[in-house]
């Protein structure tokens, strides 16, 4: 009786120049792997999720690739590397928009575009450094200084946000809900420091010290500082509200996983657990942080209306009073559009 033909589990990741596919099959025999008309064809005898069978799949790539796939067999899987014809970042793997059910991201190798650019630049710098060492016989100090500078920046930010996170966690465990209402007076100084220092991150992106996109970095910086310095920092009535705890706590959770990831990148280290946490924790925490920011803005609107702070009257002949709450409402709309 012939073996049943089944589809294996396939995991993928990419860099600007390459695609990586990991086929979950063990004890593979006689693999047939080829690319024709930009379609990857795979067929092999092996042991997968449905036991010992013939497994096969076909993937039509989003963009053009070179028709010479490279594969390596291990006892537990088949690793396939495909070269892109043009070095660029793809928004997805396949030409069809709907992802095949058997295909999933390979989080062991997954990087977003900015991190992949950083990795690519780091590899290029390493290659150039080796060439300089061979030709000049002297160490390249500029790259080392850059890495050291970025490592120290990320370390300081990590320590600052870790202090905030631990402080709020310990106070909540001891005082319970009572700790919510004096969050601002407890950790505001450190939060001010971390958020002012975050300006450096945007400057780094602007001048090319890092390959992170400038616009997302600038939007996050302006958004957080608007909440911290204007909505909360200028209104004493807001500083005693419980929402401040949730804003600060969610911000710190994101950063205590983000900055260690960047620290390891600076020293060319890859800890899979840190990478997984950096990209997994962000998924639920980021929208919750946006929601907490929105709640703080909503709670501040009646306070700004009552005090009239930052409101102004347009000059003659209009003579119309413009309340600051109008700008807060616009900010709310922008916040949910960003979300």
Give the catalytic positions in this structure: 286, 293
- Residues listed for the chain: 339
The answer for 36, left when phi > 0, alpha when psi is -120 to 50, beta otherwise, is beta
Pairing of strands 103-105, 10-14: parallel
Give CA–CA dist 329/331, Å, rounded. Answer: 5
H or E element that contains 245: helix 243-266
In 3D space, the residue among 70, 69, 59, 54 whose CA is nearest the CA of residue 10 turns out to be 59
Long-range pairs of 193-199 with CB within 8 A, sequence gap ≥ 24 = 193/160, 194/157, 194/160, 194/161, 194/164, 194/255, 195/221, 195/224, 195/225, 195/228, 195/229, 197/153, 197/156, 197/157, 197/160, 198/157, 198/224, 198/225
3-class state of residue 6 by DSSP: strand
Looking up tokens 């993937």, which residue turns up?
59
Structure tokens at 322: 């413009």
Quote the radius of gyration of the chain (alpha carbons, Å): 26
């Amino acid at each position: 009786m012939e073996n049943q033909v089944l589809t294996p589990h396939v995991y993928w990741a990419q860099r600007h120049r390459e695609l990586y596919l990991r086929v979950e099959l063990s004890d593979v025999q006689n693999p047939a792997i080829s690319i024709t008309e930009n379609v990857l064809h795979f067929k092999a005898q092996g042991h997968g999720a449905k036991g010992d069978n013939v497994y096969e799949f076909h993937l039509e790539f989003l963009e053009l690739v070179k028709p010479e796939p490279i594969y390596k067999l291990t006892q537990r899987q088949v690793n396939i590397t495909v070269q892109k014809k043009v070095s660029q970042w793809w928004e997805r793997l396949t030409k069809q928009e709907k992802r095949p059910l058997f295909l999933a991201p390979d989080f062991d190798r997954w990087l977003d575009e900015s991190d992949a650019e950083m990795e690519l630049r780091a590899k290029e710098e390493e290659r150039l450094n080796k060439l300089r060492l061979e030709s000049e016989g002297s160490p390249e100090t500029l790259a080392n200084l850059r890495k050291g500078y970025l490592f120290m920046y990320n370390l300081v930010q990590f320590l600052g946000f870790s202090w905030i996170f631990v402080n709020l966690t310990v106070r909540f465990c001891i005082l319970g809900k009572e700790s919510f209402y004096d969050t601002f007076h407890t950790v505001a100084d450190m939060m001010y420091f971390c958020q002012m220092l975050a300006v450096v991150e945007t400057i780094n992106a602007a001048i090319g010290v890092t390959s992170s996109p400038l616009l997302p970095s600038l939007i996050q910086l302006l958004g957080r500082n608007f909440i911290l310095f204007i909505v909360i920092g200028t209104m004493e009535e807001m500083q005693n509200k419980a929402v401040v705890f949730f804003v600060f706590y969610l911000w710190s959770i994101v950063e205590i996983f983000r900055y260690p990831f960047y620290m390891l990148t600076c020293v060319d280290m890859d800890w899979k657990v840190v990478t997984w946490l950096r990209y997994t924790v962000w998924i639920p925490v980021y929208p919750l942080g946006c929601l907490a920011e929105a709640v703080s803005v909503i709670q501040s609107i009646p306070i700004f209306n009552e005090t009239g702070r930052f409101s102004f009257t347009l000059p003659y002949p209009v003579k119309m009073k413009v309340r600051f709450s109008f700008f807060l409402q616009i900010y709310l709309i922008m916040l949910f559009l960003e979300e």
